[in-house]
Every structure is written in structure tokens, then in C-alpha cells.
Structure 1
Amino acid sequence: MFRSRTKDGQAVTKVTEAEPQQIRDPQAPKGRPTPKRSDALAQRRTLAKPPANRKEAAKRAREARRADMQRQRQALAGGDERYLPARDQGPVRRYARDFVDAKWSVAEFFLPIAVLILILSIVPSPQFKNIAFVMWIGVIATIVIDSFAMSFRLKKGLAERFPDENRRGAVFYAFMRTLQMRRMRLPKPQVARGERP
């Protein structure tokens, strides 16, 4: 900030462009809890003091990695976009996740059905083996048809909602999510069945 005087002698304040003025509302939340004083002091001490040797530097790097992994696990469980892995970030991927989670799909029941087919194929009766074979062909055909229909609808929805965004890989990402059972999906589903994404 520089001051200059006009002909009248009044001080005029000029703001340079290098200093953007950002006024934060003091009542607005920070988006994170305030750390305890002891934690803040301990962190400040560790950051201020460089590691004494390679062993201590490796220990600090390990602790930082562990903290990052813990944050990522919590983000995957809660859906916090800031700490999600790169493959799950962005509005396109979020829409693909919500699109899959809002609908029933045959592919999510593939694992239990495959176990049932395996049990039927182990039974020494030829009738059970025929039933297992027919079920196997039926499940595969149903999953393929369901996946094509899902990918067609998802591509259409992505083109309408995100015309200027990079949509590459979103359909494959959604297909891989359909192969997981709903309760085992990460990030956890954020929409209920039947809800519009």
C-alpha cells in the first residue's frame, strides 16, 4: 500500500494489484476443527526442527504417509471430495457413482450367484451341472445386456450435465463399481436406491 498526496494535501491510498483484498467472514466456519493447543505446539515443534538423521526422516515420512492414508480412508467412508484418491475425484466421477448407486444392477449380485453356481457344479449329479451351466450363461448374458443399457444411459446423462468436462473413463469406472456389492463399495454410496443422481 502506498500513499500519495493530492494538490489539496489529503492523503490518498493506492492499492497495488499484488495485494488482493480478501475479507473473511469471522462467523463463517473454517471447515475443520480447531486443534488442541498441545497438538498444535507439538506439530509446530516437529516442523520447526529438521530431522537429525535418515532414520528420523524416514520415520516422519512414514507417519505423514500413514496420516494421508487415514484421511483417505475417512474420505472414502464419508465421501469427502478433498481427500479422495485421484481416480474418484471430480463431479463427473461423483455423478457416475451416484448413477450406479441409485439403481439395481445384476452385476452387483455376480459374486453370490457365482458361488451358488460353483456349489451346483461340484454336486456329482448331471442335472445340477446342467442347471449350473444354464445359470452361468444366463447371468453372463444378463450382465452384458444390463451393462450396455447402463453405459448408454450414463453416457447420455454425462453429455447433458457435463458437456465441457473430461468424461474419459467414467463409463468404465461406473461399470467396475456395478461389479461390487453395494455395501462393499468405496467411496460409500451417498444416494438411496431410486433417488435421482
Structure 2
Amino acid sequence: MLRRRKTTETPADGRPEAHGSTAAPAGGTAPSAPDAKGASGRRDRSQGKGVPTPRRKDQEAARRRTLVPEDRKAARRAEREAAAAERRRQREAMITGDERALPQRDRGPQRRWVRDFVDARTGVAEFLLPVVVLYIFLMMVPSRQVQVYLMIALYVLVAVIVVEAFLITRRVRRGLTERFGQAEPGTGFYAVMRALQFRRLRLPKPQVARGQHPR
């Protein structure tokens, strides 16, 4: 059998024809400009921004660090001085009756009226503490009869104080309702607790004399 012999066509310039997309153009020119630009862009992205991204733990630590004073000893000393100044202001207010520095439980026009009402009267309840101290000493007397009398006297005193506390609560609530329209909660108990204290030991200090009832 006869085989066909492949013939290769040769162009006019004497060079064989290039096949496929990988053939270089004539004259050996460099790659196109877009390809070079893409390569440089990939190189820039791989290099990054030159500064490492801070971790979340480091960011939170930096934010917390701004809230904590650098000199903790000075901060504690300043807090102690501020607390001492506040206590001095409250002690002075307890003596002068300045409501701006009084504790919250003693502030307000109704509490001031209650204090003036209690301080203006003379009651049995304010002598409870001295009587109890005297009772303790007298109970050391080795006489059964004396001890029985002292016990009866103490019971009578307690009963009188209970009745007096009930009357003080009623009068305080009635007086506050007449002057302020409505009594604040706890004013009756506040009045009774102040009436049970010896006048010289009351805080805030009494601002009215005995018999000088508030209007």
C-alpha cells in the first residue's frame, strides 16, 4: 500500500507557522501591560499594610487601662480624704441642722417638723435609758422585796411609754396631715425613736427649746 507523505507548508518568509495560543508574537515582544499590572497588584496585596492587626485581647486591655488610675495609692488617698470630708460635713450638719448635708433619713420639711415637735415636749420616754441603768444597779440589792418593787415599777414605766408612743404617733400624723396634706411613710416611727432618746443625745441636735412647738 502506498502511504501519503505529510507535507508541511512553509510560509513565504521561510519560518514555520505557529500553532496554538502559546506562541510568542513576532519579534519576541514582552507580555502585555495588563498582565504586568495584575502581577504587581498581587505583589502589593501579599505585602499587606506593613502593621500587624492588633488582637482583640490587646484592644480590650487598652480600653480597660484607661479607666484605671495609674497611681492607685494616690487614688485611694483621695477617696479617703473625700469620705472624711463628707463625714465632717455630716457631723457639722447634725449640730447646726443644715439639711443639705444631713443623711437621707433626716431630710425634708416633714422630718424637720417631727423633730421640732418631739424636741419641744417633755415626755417619759426620753428618761427610759437612765431609768434602765438605775434599775440594773438597784437589782443588785440583796433584798427580795426591793427587787419585786423594782420589777413592778419597770413594767409600769414600759406600759406608760407604750401609751405615750401611741399618742405621739397619732399627734404627729394629724399635725403633718393638717400642714402638708399627707404624712410621709415612717414619720410616726421616726418620732417615737427620737422621743426614746435622751434630749442631749439626740442627733440632729434639737433646734427648738422646750415648749416652743412648731406651727
Q: Same fold by TM-score, threshold 0.5 exceeded?
A: yes
Mapping 1:33-52, distance limit 5 Å: 52=70
Correspondence for 1:85 among 77, 84, 103: 103
Instruction: Provide the C-alpha distance between the structure 2 equivalents of 1:52 and 1:107, rounded to a whole number of angstroms.
Output: 55
Contact 1:177 1:185 in 2 (8 A): yes
Q: Deviations over 1:37-95 (max 9, x none)?
A: xxxxxxxxxxxxx9641111011011001001100000001101110000000001001
Instruction: Provide the C-alpha distance between the structure 1 equivalents of 2:85 and 2:212, rounded to a whole number of angstroms.
Output: 34
- Equivalent in the alignment of 1:126: 144
Q: Does 1:74 align with 2:101?
A: no
Q: Does 1:105 align with 2:126?
A: no
- Equivalent in the alignment of 1:54: 72
- Equivalent in the alignment of 2:194: 177
Q: Does 1:167 align with 2:167?
A: no
Higher strand share: 1
Mapping 1:135-174, distance limit 5 Å: 135-164=153-182, 167-174=184-191
Amino acid at match of 2:121: K
Count of paired positions: 147
Q: Deviations over 1:73-126 (max 9, x none)?
A: 000011011100000000010011111000011111001111121122221101
Correspondence for 1:190 among 207, 210, 215: 207
Amino acid at match of 1:191: V
Amino acid at match of 1:167: E
- Equivalent in the alignment of 1:14: none
Contact 1:98 1:191 in 2 (8 A): yes
The SS at the match of 1:122 is: coil
Instruction: Provide the C-alpha distance between the structure 2 equivalents of 1:52 and 1:78, rounded to a whole number of angstroms.
Output: 40
Q: Which structure has the greater CA radius of gyration? A: 2
Instruction: Provide the C-alpha distance between the structure 2 equivalents of 1:135 and 1:112, rounded to a whole number of angstroms.
Output: 14
Amino acid at match of 1:172: F
Q: Deviations over 1:121-164 (max 9, x none)?
A: 22110111011111111110110111111111111001111115
Q: Deviations over 1:146-191 (max 9, x none)?
A: 1111111111001111115x61111111111111100110100001
Instruction: Provide the C-alpha distance between the structure 1 equivalents of 2:206 and 2:165, rounded to a whole number of angstroms.
Output: 19
Instruction: Provide the C-alpha distance between the structure 1 equivalents of 2:165 and 2:186, rounded to a whole number of angstroms.
Output: 15
Unpaired runs of at least 5, structure 2:
1-67
Instruction: Provide the C-alpha distance between the structure 2 equivalents of 1:118 and 1:183, rounded to a whole number of angstroms.
Output: 22
Q: Identity of paired residues, percent?
A: 50
Mapping 1:22-33, distance limit 5 Å: none
